[in-house]
Structure 1
Amino acid sequence: MASTDPPAQSSGPRPRGHSHTHSHSHSGPLELSAAEARRARLVLAAIVVPLIIATLAGLVVLWPGKSSLVGSRPFAAEGASLETAEITSLDVADCEQAAASLGAVSDGSLLADAVCARITSGKGRGLTLPVHIPAESRSPADVGDRLRVMYTPQALAGGTPYVFVDYVRKAPVAALAVVYLLLVVAVAGRRGALSVLGLVLATAVLVLFMIPALLELAPPMWVTLVGSMAMMLLAVYIAHGVSVRTTTALLGTVAGVVITVAGSLWGVGAANLTGAVGDDVLALSALVPGLSLRALLTCGMVIAGLGVLNDVTITQASAVWELHAANPALGRARLFTGGMRIGRDHIASTVYTLAFAYAGTALPLILSASLIDRAVVDTLLSGEIAEEIVRTLVSSIGLVLAIPATTAIAALLCRTTPVASPRDRS
């Protein structure tokens, strides 16, 4: 396996304390001797190459066929069409006459939440007509906002042939994406650009392989393991390069994924989680007969922790190799304990990272559950919230155990240099 870590330069010995200044470094060459770098590459290649071959074989075997269900259901009903519109007034009275001129007759029930919008596509292009917006989507509406609307000719008699579907968000989302890319490249340079490329390719694995394969009822856990491995290989090696350091981190990430898989399987089974919570999940179950919602829940737990998991293993692998480069005489036990002193800081900072992330995502669910008059424990252990709690705990366990696993792998790969005794030096 190729490595971007060059052999050591003859820069003389460095003090032990110097190593701590590199504890959070993700970049920079490792100062290893040519022989040690070669040995580490051979050991890592013997482990990683079979993993790569197994991942490629898994992709070939599990790759979904042409009968994928993705995009198989029409978005609009027969006869209806998806169009665009622009709000011209929040007062529907400004365009009721226009609706009446088309022969529309309304009892006012639908027009109560309607706005005036100029149709910008389709047969009604150029007309300003009422567009019904549900109450829950009405608050952000303002003059000039662009909408996606559903045109249904049969609804003309009711006065609202155009019904709100969603807001058009292309411009603001594209602007945020451009700002994000510019900042990443400006701050992180070439490595930042490669990280974004790795993210794009990993997302492609999710969209082109994992989602279609799960919909085709391929074994969910195998799809998750193969897909996760492919995502990690692309993200890690493209962003950080092929090196001893990143390969060590990759093995630590694999260990964390295996632990997370085992924990999620046990947690979902022991807690009797069904995965059948939320209207979207129930609709999916009806549309894809035979899809195991429990298996899907388990897969989601694994995928959710990949990003943070990879981040801590990269940092931890760097810490151990830098400790070794600073003092090659450190034994493996000392390397492990020194690395874990740094790893404890990572654990302390990541304990609440996933918890806060999941709490923020599930905030509406938590607020809805808090309105119910029942004991706090019963609320926390209800199906919807229990899923989030188990997801957080399982991902956190995998994250915490990946740190000592990565530290141990890195320490075992290091070849220590015995310190010569005074007799030997004489």
Structure 2
Amino acid sequence: MTHHHAIQPPEGPPRPRLAWSLAAVVVVLALLSLAALGVLWPDRADVPQGADPYGNVAILDAEVTKATPFDCNSSGIGPDNTPMVEGSCAQVTAETERGTTAVFTLDPTRYVGAGMEPGDQIRVIEIAPEGQQATYEFYDHQRGSQLGILAIVFAVLVALVGRWRGFFALIGIGITLLILLRFVMPALLADRPPIAVAVAGSTVIMLAVLYLAHGISIRTTSALFGTLFGIAFTAIIGAATTDWAHLTGIGSEDDHLLLATAPQMSLAGVVAASMVIAGLGVLNDVTVTQASAVWEMRALKPTAGRTELFTSAMRIGRDHIASSVYTLVFAYAGTAMTTLLLISAYQRSLLEVAVTEGIAQEVVRTLVGAIGLVLAVPITTAIAVWLAPAKSRPAEVQV
């Protein structure tokens, strides 16, 4: 006498009634989010347009033909006793895309710190007032081809390894950029309610990205519900924390310039909105993983009760929480490496610097995102366990 039962597929037996009910809920959510986009979408006239600081000049591609260093009496001390790079300047000659010769001086920060050699591909600013000879200034290095090659390699690898899911994930990236650039950024500049803009934009992004990358299924829908919970919670606690921590959003020269360009905009609201958007990637990662874990464990152990299923899935969730929290911290440390090095060089206390506006914004953004992430794991797991296939009866005894 032997016990025998077949391991059911991860999606379990068809459940058309539940599938149609969930589809109706998702359609309602999609319509509501699209309606919110329509209401919040700014008119072009409402989006402030700052004057281009290079509006009266031309920016040209050029190739360096000669770089001659010379002593420019750089003592390492600048105006107001601010520290500067000590070393030689350089007289640079380059041939522009128009065939003209550009000659300009490179300061020690650029020359000593980054260097410049013949053959370097750069961009220069051409200043040519009417009736006067053109003058040139260094603008930046050319990086278009390098970035293009990296993007192509990334896309090819994602498509090859991920196949159709990878291909649809790339489409999801395109949709994400479209929503951010065409809706979220203009709406924030036009002083639409920042939290509403962030939540509406994030919801549309997640609706598109999740179903494109992971397919239409009850499992994906459970991950969607967990993600939407994380978005809602992050929005609420982000708005409350921004006010509670007195974050004004003005922590750098760029913030001052942005406020001068769009004086009606609430930079504090933008900080709260950024908390919602910044955590979307990691949030999506953990919710999809938890939903998939529940479905796979149900397939491997179809007789397990819901409590056992939840407990087992949460063991995976705890490991994922730990690694994801590290991811958030490492991501900030990497992007703020220059600031952290400067703090270390000045031998200032990390706690002293952490409470300043610029650093505090990033600290709060990271902590709020981490809190939303941590709470989304048990919520997503509970939703997935509820929507997963019901447990099977014990295997029948066969002779």
TM range (shorter): 0.7 to 0.9
User: Which has more strand, going by share of residues?
Assistant: 2
What is the Cα deviation at residue 71 of structure 1? 5.7
The separation in 2 between residues aligned to 1:418 and 1:185, in whole angstroms, is 37
Identity %: 40
Superposed CA deviations along residues 308-365 of structure 1, whole A, max 9, x for unmatched, are 1101111110111222233333222222111111111111211210000011111112
Equivalenced residue count is: 375
In structure 2, the partner of 1:233 is 207
In structure 2, the partner of 1:33 is 13
In structure 2, the partner of 1:153 is 128
Kept after mapping to 1: 8 A contact 2:169/2:213: yes
Letter in 2 for 1:128: T
More moved, 204-213 vs 358-367:
358-367
In structure 2, the partner of 1:89 is 66
The separation in 2 between residues aligned to 1:67 and 1:148, in whole angstroms, is 32
Kept after mapping to 1: 8 A contact 2:251/2:357: yes
1:45 equivalent among 23, 28, 47: 23
Query: Aligned pair 1:333/2:326, yes or no?
Result: no
Letter in 2 for 1:52: A
1:131 equivalent among 99, 104, 114: 104
Kept after mapping to 1: 8 A contact 2:49/2:261: no
The separation in 2 between residues aligned to 1:381 and 1:57, in whole angstroms, is 39
Residues 302-381 of structure 1 mapped to structure 2, 5 A cutoff: 302-372=276-346, 374-381=348-355
Query: Aligned pair 1:185/2:172, yes or no?
Result: no
Letter in 1 for 2:101: T
The separation in 2 between residues aligned to 1:278 and 1:239, in whole angstroms, is 37
Secondary structure of the residue that 2:103 maps to in structure 1?
A: strand
2:143 equivalent among 153, 166, 169: 169
In structure 2, the partner of 1:285 is 259
The separation in 1 between residues aligned to 2:13 and 2:53, in whole angstroms, is 61
The separation in 2 between residues aligned to 1:155 and 1:278, in whole angstroms, is 36
Secondary structure of the residue that 1:147 maps to in structure 2?
A: strand
Superposed CA deviations along residues 347-385 of structure 1, whole A, max 9, x for unmatched, are 121121000001111111222233445544222222222
Letter in 1 for 2:6: P
Secondary structure of the residue that 2:183 maps to in structure 1?
A: helix
Kept after mapping to 1: 8 A contact 2:12/2:389: no
Secondary structure of the residue that 1:226 maps to in structure 2?
A: helix
Instruction: Extract unaligned runs of 5+ from structure 2.
Output: 71-87
What is the Cα deviation at residue 55 of structure 1? 0.7
Secondary structure of the residue that 2:44 maps to in structure 1?
A: coil
2:370 equivalent among 396, 400, 422: 396
In structure 1, the partner of 2:73 is none
Secondary structure of the residue that 2:45 maps to in structure 1?
A: coil
User: Relative to structure 1, is the Cα distance of residues 128 and 381 closer, same or farther in structure 2, using a 3 angstrom cutoff?
Assistant: same
What is the Cα deviation at residue 60 of structure 1? 1.1
Residues 57-76 of structure 1 mapped to structure 2, 5 A cutoff: 57-67=35-45, 69=47, 73-76=51-54
In structure 2, the partner of 1:118 is 95
What is the Cα deviation at residue 75 of structure 1? 4.4
The separation in 1 between residues aligned to 2:35 and 2:106, in whole angstroms, is 49
Kept after mapping to 1: 8 A contact 2:67/2:90: no
Letter in 2 for 1:44: L
The separation in 2 between residues aligned to 1:70 and 1:243, in whole angstroms, is 42
Query: Aligned pair 1:297/2:271, yes or no?
Result: yes
Superposed CA deviations along residues 82-106 of structure 1, whole A, max 9, x for unmatched, are 222110111279xxxxxxxxxxxxx
Letter in 2 for 1:230: V
Instruction: Extract unaligned runs of 5+ from structure 1.
Output: 1-10, 20-28, 94-110
TM-score normalized by structure 2? 0.86
More moved, 49-58 vs 361-370:
361-370
Kept after mapping to 1: 8 A contact 2:50/2:261: no
The separation in 1 between residues aligned to 2:298 and 2:18, in whole angstroms, is 13
The separation in 2 between residues aligned to 1:71 and 1:289, in whole angstroms, is 12
Secondary structure of the residue that 1:118 maps to in structure 2?
A: strand
Secondary structure of the residue that 2:383 maps to in structure 1?
A: helix
The separation in 2 between residues aligned to 1:421 and 1:238, in whole angstroms, is 37
